[in-house]
Amino acid sequence: MTAKVEMSQTEKVLVLIISTIAVFLAWFILHVWLQSISFNSNFIRFIDVGVVVVTGIAATTLLVRLLARPLAARAGPTQTNAIKLLFQLFGVALIIVAVVFLTGPTGTGLVSALVGVGFFGIVIGLAAQAVLGNVFSGLMLLASRPFHINDRIALITWTYGKFPPSLTHGWLEPSYTGVVKGIGLAYTKILTDSNALLKVPNSNVTSSLIMNLSHGRQGHVSLQFEVPIAIDPEDLRKRLTQFLSEMKEFKGEEDSFEILEMSSFAYLVALSYRVERQNEGQMKWLVFRAIRLALTRAEDKTSK
């Protein structure tokens, strides 16, 4: 069996450049041949535009994919996303300029092309205000950097509705919480805590209140649970503190212990602990275990 030879990134980029040049050479030969046989000039121009658009989009997409992995290893995901977006914008700009040169109203001269660029820009600006707004909003996000790629954020916006929380005294803001996965020409990708991938228009992101939950090292573990009315809250709190202190893995400090609501049968407790952000998941599980133990012991005491 022959060993499979893997090309390096540099070799792949060279192959892409050579392939693009070869496509344009073949197009040029076809263009000259069609003119030599007096083929319809409008149809020739249509072929020219199609070749430029398809080849430009394919070359830009492949170039961005080839450069993404080595850039991510050296520059980090946020800088890589910015470079990818700039490459895409540069490719789209070149395609638009090439199309305008090919479809100039009085030929393919420089003056005609400039007139075409101005007219084309006015038409596009009026017809695609929302699209261009998303593109410029994406550039503003890259310049201001209210968050980085892989940051966990919460977007609070009036644009989209949201179901109310299942627990009482939960947040009522229409917030969407998740991890930022990328900023594109039109959309920002956010993987929510429920594992749903959101594509939010960039203009909506820039007009939203952005809560960067990855800022700093301190995190919080917050839980709400009902307690039978017969259990003394002070006794419950002492037992909870005792069980957490016996857990060597637990590293946190109590932030709050409050009674939110009360009925004739039970009362609602909300507690919060300050922990390190990277350990939030593990600490939440330990707090949950301690709550179960504290409730069980307190119920056994009241039943005797």
User: Per residue in 46-85, pLDDT tens?
Assistant: 777 777 777 777 777 776 666 666 665 565 666 667 667 7
Per the CB < 8 A criterion, the answer to whether 296 and 225 are in contact is: no
Q: What is the DSSP secondary structure assignment for residue 3, as one 8-state letter?
A: P
If we measure between CA atoms, which residue out of 93, 102, 109, 100 comes closest to residue 28? Answer: 102
Pair (67, 40) in one structural domain: yes
What's the structural domain count of the chain? 3
- The pTM assigned to this predicted structure is 0.47
Length of the chain: 304
The ranges of the chain with pLDDT < 70 are 1-13, 41-42, 44, 63-80, 82-83, 97-132, 160-175, 216-217, 304
Per the CB < 8 A criterion, the answer to whether 124 and 116 are in contact is: no
Range of the domain at 208: 152-212
Pair (38, 85) in one structural domain: yes
Pair (13, 121) in one structural domain: yes
Pair (283, 231) in one structural domain: yes
Which H/E stretch holds residue 284?
helix 280-303
Domain boundary among 212, 235, 263: 212
The tens digit of pLDDT for each residue in 136-157 reads 888 788 778 888 888 888 888 7
